[in-house]
Structure 1
Amino acid sequence: MAHTYHRQCGCYSCGKAEEASERDEEMAGPYIEALKGCPTVLSEAMGELTEEEMASMAASLATGDNDKFALTMRTRIGMFVYEAVECRMDDLKCDMFTAATRLADAYGAEPLRQAVAA
């Protein structure tokens, strides 16, 4: 008898569900990366920085620690994009690929052609 998917189960149907999920994430990847590089997404992510993140970034700028500044920005933008994709998945009851492509369309974020073709 079939059961609901469980990530630690080793049965055939759970394995197929895991493979499908991995393919979905792989296909969504170029769109997620395009969202991370979109100026509008950057603007929105900047608006959601916490006081601690802002203080850390300001200190990094003041001391010339560009690597720390960039790491903080990359981390925050990545979190913002993944939260937006998860929210869209929940709202639309869809997979990651559909959510990422719809968000990319909404923001006007175009993935690199070579990334989509691969």
Structure 2
Amino acid sequence: MSLCLASAGVVKTLSVAAFTLAWTHSIEKTAWQEDWLITSAGLELTQARIKGTGAGMEPPPEARLVGGWFQWSPPPLPRPEVVLGNSGAAGEWLLCHAGRCQTLSEIFGHPIGANVTTMSACDNP
């Protein structure tokens, strides 16, 4: 399985089994990270972390503070796709794997701007 990213009619395929999605909350300007696994059932969120609390960023009761991050593992729920919007108010989404992070614009090779990006599991290229 691979990760397929689609935005403005362009599809990019990344040969990864797992990745971290990172961004900055647009209002609180606080870091947020999610670890995802690519499975035959879809994309599965395995862990979430936020570097603080605030409007729309309340960690669930099971979250624990570890190294300055509130982190928790949500129940496994494979999703066929995950849609990422971009208001432009807090920078771009970062996709990290193998110790390297790239913005979606870097992955696509051109500015994404306010275009929606859809992530999904796909067959290896």
TM-score, length-normalised on structure 1?
0.27
Higher RCO (CA 8 Å, separation ≥ 6 residues):
1
Choose 1 or 2 for highest CA Rg: 1
Q: Which has the higher strand share?
A: 2
Greater share of helix residues, 1 or 2? 1
